[in-house]
Amino acid sequence: MKKIWIVDDDEEMTRAVRLMLKMMGYETSAFFNARTAAQALMDKGLPDLLILDINMPEVSGLDLLEFLRRRDGLKDIPVVMLSTEASDVMVDRASTLGADAYVSKPVTIEELERAMQTAFNIRKK
């Protein structure tokens, strides 16, 4: 079973995404800030995919994405950005930093599944 990590400071959104992922047959872990997620990436087994919110206190999802893409052993993890930020500028910035897919909140299960499949295909996972 593939492991999906969700990094989002919005607990309600995280619960909703976890439920969607469970319905799709994935195992999930949730982190409510990027620092905790970054530490877990260094200490634990790696997820098969990360779902990152952009707007979080202290360290943004874009900062975490940039960290991932610069580190051997982490740079090939598929990443889906999930955010209320839907401007072309933000989507382009996330793509430039290495996001594999981008979906806007609120998200449907179909949108999330398509974005994840895109990310898996790009990273061949």
Per-residue pLDDT of the chain (125 residues; tens, 9 = 90+): 999 999 999 999 999 999 999 999 999 999 999 999 999 999 978 999 999 999 999 999 999 999 999 999 999 999 999 999 889 999 999 999 999 999 999 999 999 999 999 999 999 86
The pLDDT, as a whole number, for residue 125 is 65
Q: Is 6 strand, coil or helix?
A: strand
Q: Which CATH architecture has domain 3-123?
A: 3-Layer(aba) Sandwich (3.40)
DSSP letters spanning 22-74: HHTT-EEEEESSHHHHHHHHHHSPPPSEEEE-S--SSS-HHHHHHHHHTSTTT
pTM over 0.75: yes
The pLDDT, as a whole number, for residue 12 is 96
